Amino acid sequence: MASALRVLGIDPGLTRCGVGVVDVRRDRSASLVHVGVVRSGVDLPIEQRLAVIAAGIRDVISTHAPDVVAVERVFAQHNRSTVMGTAQASGIALMLAGEHGLPAATHTPSEVKAAITGYGSADKLQVQTMVARVLRLDALPQPADAADALALALCHAWRRGPSAGAGTEALTPAQRAWADAERVARR
């Protein structure tokens, strides 16, 4: 599938880290390559938990050879220990992308929900339902961490435009405006 962009989506978490790989073609149609969850035991020391997460992500990268990695952007939560674990797992995912020479991007949960459902405040079931429809799955992807990883991968591919190598002429007006806004924000 040479004309497809292969995206690894990662929903970072210290206990459950969702991973999903999709191939997205120029026409924005997509197919499932892999979905799963990397789990680390809550009884393990933090360094071992992070090592388990890293090993799981490395395995997915080596097995499925993605073109790009999309990771959920960490946002403030009321539970400090949850946000710390999420941030640590996110850092591991971004580091592994760098080690493998893969471009990486982060997307907020509301960006992902808006890209997948058209509504930035969609609930988990709405996201799972749309991911299942887009990927033509017989059942909703489970658990929610796995569905979120697939949604991240789809969001990233769709927001980049019809294909990885496409110039801005292949983007829709909305995609061009978004890309311009992102360029300005990076300055």
Catalytic status, residue 72: yes
Best CA proximity match to 9, nearest among 48, 62, 57: 57
| Residue among 27, 67, 138, 145 flagged as catalytic | 145
Cβ–Cβ under 8 Å, residues 33 and 21: yes
Tally of CA atoms within 13 A in the half-sphere of 99 that contains its CB: 11
**Among residues 1, 175, 10, which one has the least CA distance to residue 88?**
10
Catalytic residue among 11, 23, 111, 148: 11
Helices 144-160, 109-117: crossing angle, 10 deg rounding? 80
Task: Give the Cα separation of 158 and 135 in Å (integer).
Answer: 14
Which of 23, 72, 111, 148 is the catalytic position? 72
CA 118 to chain centre: 17
Active site residue 145: yes
Give the catalytic positions in this structure: 11, 72, 145
